[in-house]
Amino acid sequence: MAQYLSQLTLSPPKSQPMASLSGGAATTSRLLPSASRVRLSICSASSSLSLASSSSYSPSSLKCLRFSPLIFKDQKRSSMSTVAAASDAAQLKSAREDIKELLKSKFCHPILVRLGWHDAGTYNKNIEEWPKRGGANGSLRFEIELKHAANAGLVDALKLIQPIKDKYSGVTYADLFQMASAAAIEEAGGPKIPMKYGRVDVSVPDECPEEGRLPDAGPPKPADHLREVFYRMGLDDKEIAALSGAHTLGRSRPERSGWGKPETKYTKNGPGAPGGQSWTAEWLKFDNSYFKDIKERKDEDLLVLPTDAALFEDPSFKVYAEKYAEDKEAFFKDYAEAHAKLSNLGAKFDPPEGIMLDGVAGEKFVAAKYSSGKD
């Protein structure tokens, strides 16, 4: 579902690296594998230090590395001591402002929503152990997960967000992904998302979830598929319907997802890279037009996936879809709650109650609270 929130293929200048080491090596497909501030103690470093890419840095004179965000590419986890720190509140606030400026200049709202959703959407409520349970833990920065079919094109989102991560080392990838997703909704005219921060990053690619946890767009039984995937996350029918409304933003590109037209009258001139097929005419505006357009189906230039159509075909989903088509405020309220819940799925917070930027009391993540009672 969320994977078909099309991404605008806008990227920073080629001269700008995704990650760098004192102006040195840069990675293009794998990003820094560390959390925000990871404490390492690696002595007698004789092998090459790399960013898990074809580029490498050889510290011939380095004897002992401490307080570095870098990890040896082939280093065994058992030989290093890592301590992940919570994100810094001041840096979180500054990063949020930079994300808003990025959205204004790049019109990248859809792909940033998708980035946050796909990092969180791997959560499995039936697994208690972190990070095996998946969820919002920053694992999507690793190449092995970026190569999952559902994540096609999300490397472009990483390229957009990486300069902000480089600027604010005290913010974890997990927090940055969720912050960008929420800010994209808000800046597109959507509701205020009640967010909290302090998510801890996974440290190595081995901690990425297996492929297959994210939803498909065209399964044989769309409604059953949506429930299978989202009930596993602990979400219910109302939350599934509300979250589907995020398709009011973005486009689907056939070269990435296999769905949609190469271009329509709504997408042929951008903004951003032209092309793709949108769900709505104003695909950078967050409102309830998705539900109206899916219900009416009067415009062949607007996309309707099997999982979209299911919202008005399944009796339970239809109750909410009909309501949201008529009442934007009801949709906004339910969407904000569902988005915030999604952004917390599977996360390990430090401190446990999270970090609040807008004066809202925090709550410790408890997996049982994210069970719908339907399996």
Residue ranges in 29-106 assigned as alpha helix (H): 89-106
Tokens standing for 340?
Answer: 């915030």
Tokens standing for 277?
Answer: 């097929």
**CB neighbourhood size of 275 (10 A):** 20
Q: Is 118 a catalytic residue?
A: yes
**CB neighbourhood size of 127 (10 A):** 16
Tokens standing for 101?
Answer: 């400026």
Task: DSSP letter for 215, please.
Answer: P
- Phi, psi (rounded to 5 degrees) for 165: -65, -40
Nearest to 173 by CA among 121, 116, 213, 124: 116
Would you say 306 and 314 are in contact if contact means Cβ atoms under 8 Å apart?
no
Would you say 6 and 251 are in contact if contact means Cβ atoms under 8 Å apart?
yes
Q: Cα–Cα distances in Å, from 189 out to 22, 246, 249, 268?
A: 39, 12, 11, 23
Would you say 53 and 78 are in contact if contact means Cβ atoms under 8 Å apart?
no
Choosing from 109, 118, 148, 225, the catalytic residue is 118
Query: With the C-alpha atoms ordered 161, 167, 172, 176, is the resulting torsion angle positive or negative?
Result: negative
- Rounded Cα gap, residues 267 and 242, in angstroms: 25
Q: What is the per-residue DSSP string for 222-264? A: HHHHHHHHHHHTT--HHHHHHHHGGGGS-EE-HHHHS-S-S--
Query: With the C-alpha atoms ordered 292, 296, 298, 304, is the resulting torsion angle positive or negative?
Result: positive
Tokens standing for 342?
Answer: 């999604």
Length of the chain: 375
Residues near 365 by Cβ (< 8 Å), separated by ≥ 6? Answer: 344, 347, 348, 349, 352
- In three-state secondary structure terms, 52 is coil
Q: What is the per-residue DSSP string for 345-369? A: TT--BSSTT-B-SSSPPP----GGG
Catalytic residues: 118
